[in-house]
Every structure is written in structure tokens, then in C-alpha cells.
Copies of this chain bind each other. A is one copy, B any other.
Amino acid sequence: MTRSTDQPHAVLPEWDVSTWLNTPVPISVTSLRGRVVLLHTFQMLCPGCVAYGLPQAERVHRTFPASELAVVGLHTVFEHHTVMTIDALRAFIHEYRWSFPIGVDAPDGLGGPSRTMARYGLSGTPSCLVLDRQGRIRLNHFGQPDDLVLGALLGRLIANPDAPRQVDAAGTPRSELAPQGDAVVCDPAGCRMQAGGRQGSTRTSP
């Protein structure tokens, strides 16, 4: 189970989204302060995202009240840039009926991982990040966390509306990814860049 401690947690920096879908207005990380956040990063051609990650994000979106928890998707492309376009993503969302807001992570213009993915130091897709009401990172998981474990973490964070409001502005994760699209490996769990130093397991912020 994911445990809480009294140690400081890094606050998630802003994302850099070029286009928003499934929402009438753009969403910022800051605007979600006060609610628990599930950030699901994915690619539409990532088998593990389609089979497990996105359905879990949708389940969370439908299970928890919007006043307590926000689910946000982020399309973080790091391969096959020419075919995973905004139009393709729009068709994908239509066919699969994803109902939560989804942002298109801004491309780096060089064919590497998209900007926010690099900024957050994510090693592949799907990645599941959970923020508490202060915007602090409480889970950073490559692959799909277990429903029971994820539910427990979300329930715990929702139950703490009066947790201290001071946030830890330091500790922003550094990019650990070189922009090299070739070395991508997909397996049932997800798609990863081999150059990424983080090997796909949960990192719960202490």
C-alpha cells in the first residue's frame, strides 16, 4: 500500500499543452489546486495504454465526484509523431468514448519526446501521476497501478482536506530523457524509451 509520510513532496510543475480536447477551457495544474488529481499520460498507439491505463483513468473519472478529484489525460508522443496527430487523437477519443479532459502535450519540434513528458522526466507510457490537494506528487507510476492500491491512495488523499497548505516548490523532477525516438520498446505493460533511466516501477514520493 502507498503510505504517507511527513517528508516534503515535489509540487508538479505546469504542463505545456498545445491543444485541449473534451474540455471547453484550457486546464492548468494550478487551477486544480484544492482537488486531488489523477494525471494519465499516454499515446494512442501504446497497447498497454489502450488496454489498461486509459480504461482505468475512465473508471476513476466515473467513480469519484468531480468536486473532489479531477482526471486529466495527457497525450505524450515520443514515437510515430507523423501519424499520432491531433486529428487522429480526436478520432481515437471519439471511438473509445473517453470522457475526461485530454491535453496534447506540446511537441519539442525535433522529433523527440513531447515537452511536458521531458519536463516531468517520464520514461514512457502509460504513466499515472497522482497529486494531492496541494498539487504535490504522491504517486508516479509507469504502467497501471492496481485498482485497490490506487483507490486506497485516492481515498486517503480525498479524506485529508485540511492537510497543511504550504507547498514544497522545490524538488521539481529533472528531465532524464534524451530525445531519441528510435529506442522505444513496447510490451503489455507499456511503451518505454530505453535510454530512460527509470525502470518502470512505481515511485511513490516519500
Contact = CB atoms under 8 A, between A and B. Distances in A.
Contacts of A32: none
Contacts of A186: 95, 97
When all copies of this chain in the complex are counted, the total is 4
15 contacts: A45-B92, A46-B95, A50-B50, A51-B51, A60-B148, A63-B149, A79-B91, A84-B91, A95-B186, A97-B186, A147-B148, A151-B154, A152-B154, A153-B155, A156-B158
A24 interface: no
Interface string A28-61: 0000000000000000011100110000000110
Main SS at interface, chain A: helix
Interface of A: 1, 3-4, 45-47, 50-51, 59-60, 63-65, 68, 79-80, 82-85, 87-88, 91-92, 95-97, 146-160, 186, 191
A88 to B, nearest CB: 4
B47 A96 contact: yes
Contact of A1 (B46, B50, B63, B150): B63
Contacts of A47: 95-96
Given A45-B92, A63-B146, A95-B47, A158 B151 contact: no
Contacts of A88: 83, 88
Nearest to A44: B45
Nearest to A149: B63
A27 B96 CA distance: 32
A146 B128 CA distance: 20
